């Protein structure tokens, strides 16, 4: 009798722990969101569109856009609400499965919503426990819904396509966590890559075609592809790059492939003048040369290095001038002065929008051509001279 009494608590505890998965959630009960788009509706409300991964192979809903990628299927569903939380609730009412944000890799803001401000959607995405902090952010040139509905021949869906492009440095690779961190810095700015839809072989395909700069959570400036590359150099985000420039006297183009690069910003305050020195070191291989150039000679290599350095400086300077003209410091200058000159920064912080365009920017670029290729002066491919 007494041994049984001593075992009774253990048996009761075992009964509690071995009750099975009473609160389990089957995957067939989830509407797994792979990407979401947020647009501004005509009445000022928020339109939420989600791309849902469906591991089955059937849908006949005429209101959904769907396509089969391999053995998988993706559908797009939309709902309109007073804010993003309300739109999510309205969307749930139309689905037989519970909306699950845990696998959402991409969030796209429509252009009109970006211009009005993304503070409300960002509040929902950062406050909700399920959306990933490492999810990529994008801004669409038109409506975000249209991007989600596009077919992607090379990937299963647009979420995978855009994420892979960001990883390959087709443009900026900005996650939700990065955007929040940048917005909390001294300048309160952030940059998000822009999605542009282009026609390829009679099919509309999304590409990363520039950058949208945000100030105080509103779109403040737009950069094209070349200006974005200059911005990436300033942010020390260039891993590989190809620089092409004309070579005098012929004007033919030569190209160098950069395989190693680093950059940093060095602030300075002297005699009341604020300046930034951009330090860049890059190493690359010569990919293609201009007609008649003998790259076996050291003076020729030095000349090419100077030409590529000037082309790189011009590319970066375009991004700097555009930011200063718009008085929007998405270059990271404010953060550098805050770190290195905290006393002076506290005095200038309130008037930074006026001081930022007056900051002098200088460049210290060292580009080294490590290899000139397998041929020297390629006489076999030169154009014949006219008599």
Helices 84-93, 119-127: axis angle to 10 degrees equals 60
- pLDDT value at position 198? 85
- pLDDT value at position 153? 78
Which residue segments constitute the domains of the chain, with CATH numbers given? 27-223 (no CATH), 237-387 (3.30.300.210)
Question: Residues 6 or more apart from 20 whose CB is under 8 A from it?
Answer: none
* pTM for the whole structure: 0.85
153-191 residue pLDDT tens: 788 888 899 999 988 877 899 999 999 999 999 999 999
Alpha-carbon gap, residue 9 to 173, rounded angstroms: 56
- pLDDT value at position 27? 76
**H/E element, 230:** helix 225-234
- pLDDT value at position 35? 95
Which residues of the chain, if any, have pLDDT below 50?
Answer: 57-60, 62-72, 380-381, 387
- pLDDT value at position 157? 87
Cβ–Cβ < 8 Å for 176, 188: no
- pLDDT value at position 372? 86
Cβ–Cβ < 8 Å for 61, 75: yes
Beta strand 98-100 pairing with 30-40: parallel
Cβ–Cβ < 8 Å for 135, 106: yes
- pLDDT value at position 26? 74
Two structure tokens written together for 132: 């990933």
Residue of 144, 135, 216 whose CA lies nearest to 176:
135
């Amino acid at each position: 009798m007494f041994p049984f009494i001593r075992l009774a608590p253990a048996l009761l505890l075992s009964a509690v722990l071995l009750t099975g998965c009473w609160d389990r959630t089957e995957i067939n009960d989830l509407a797994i969101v792979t990407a979401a788009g947020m647009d501004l509706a005509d009445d000022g409300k928020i339109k939420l569109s989600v791309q849902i991964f469906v591991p089955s192979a059937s849908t006949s809903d005429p209101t959904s856009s769907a396509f089969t990628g391999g053995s998988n299927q993706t559908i797009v569903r939309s709902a309109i609400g007073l804010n993003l939380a309300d739109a999510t609730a309205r969307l749930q009412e139309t689905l037989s499965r519970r909306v699950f944000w845990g696998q959402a890799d991409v969030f796209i803001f429509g252009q009109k919503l970006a211009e009005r401000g993304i503070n409300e959607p960002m509040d929902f995405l950062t406050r909700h426990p399920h959306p990933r902090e490492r999810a990529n952010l994008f801004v669409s040139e038109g409506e975000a819904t249209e991007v989600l509905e596009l077919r992607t021949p090379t990937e299963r869906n647009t979420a995978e396509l855009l994420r892979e492009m960001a990883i390959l440095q087709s443009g900026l690779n900005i996650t939700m966590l990065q955007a929040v961190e940048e917005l909390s810095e001294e300048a309160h700015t952030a940059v998000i890559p822009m999605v542009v839809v282009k026609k390829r072989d009679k099919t509309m395909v999304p590409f990363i075609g520039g950058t949208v700069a945000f100030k105080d959570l509103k779109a403040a400036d737009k950069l094209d592809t070349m200006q974005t590359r200059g911005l990436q150099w300033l942010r020390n985000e260039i891993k590989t790059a190809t620089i092409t420039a004309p070579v005098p006297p012929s004007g033919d183009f030569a190209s160098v492939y950069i395989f190693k690069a680093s950059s940093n910003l060095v602030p300075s305050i002297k005699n009341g003048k604020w300046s930034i020195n951009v330090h860049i070191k890059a190493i690359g291989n010569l990919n293609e040369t201009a007609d008649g150039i003998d790259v076996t000679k050291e003076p020729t290599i030095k000349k090419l290095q100077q030409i590529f350095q000037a082309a790189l400086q011009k590319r970066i300077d375009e991004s700097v001038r555009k930011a200063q003209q718009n008085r929007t410091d998405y270059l990271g200058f404010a953060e550098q002065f805050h770190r290195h000159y905290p006393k002076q920064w506290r005095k200038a912080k309130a008037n930074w929008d006026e001081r930022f365009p007056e900051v002098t920017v200088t460049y210290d670029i060292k580009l080294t051509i490590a290899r000139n290729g397998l041929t020297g002066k390629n006489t076999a491919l030169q154009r014949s001279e006219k008599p």
